[in-house]
Structure 1
Amino acid sequence: MDSDGPLLMGTQEIRDRLGGVSRQRAYQITTRPDFPKPIVELAQGKVWLASQVEEWMAEHRRD
């Protein structure tokens, strides 16, 4: 982790950044065709580049 935040995000981190959405809602969001593709899929779940997730949120989140 660097001083600007994590470099990688799993589903839990995405849920936290989205304001504590449910697992179901996080799944709906992360499987959207316009959501960034995960960089790897581990036994415990998918992992995304935090910068790509943050960029997506900046473009698609309502204020």
Structure 2
Amino acid sequence: MALKVTLVKSPIGFEKSQGATARALGLTRIGRSVEVPDNASIQGMVFKIKHMVTVEQVEEAAK
């Protein structure tokens, strides 16, 4: 499983660490989406900025 995380709110006006977390996930602009693996560290990062993002579960493509 993977997660599709989309930035829907600007990190400006929130704690600097929350903006840094969004950038660490690869979210640089509003509307930008990234697919990240579904593991404990990513879930913790998403939980920290849950008020700025939307999250969907996606199936990984078979290789």
- Per the normalisation by structure 1, the TM-score is 0.30
Which of the pair is proportionally richer in helix? 1
- Per the normalisation by structure 2, the TM-score is 0.30
Which of the pair is proportionally richer in strand? 2
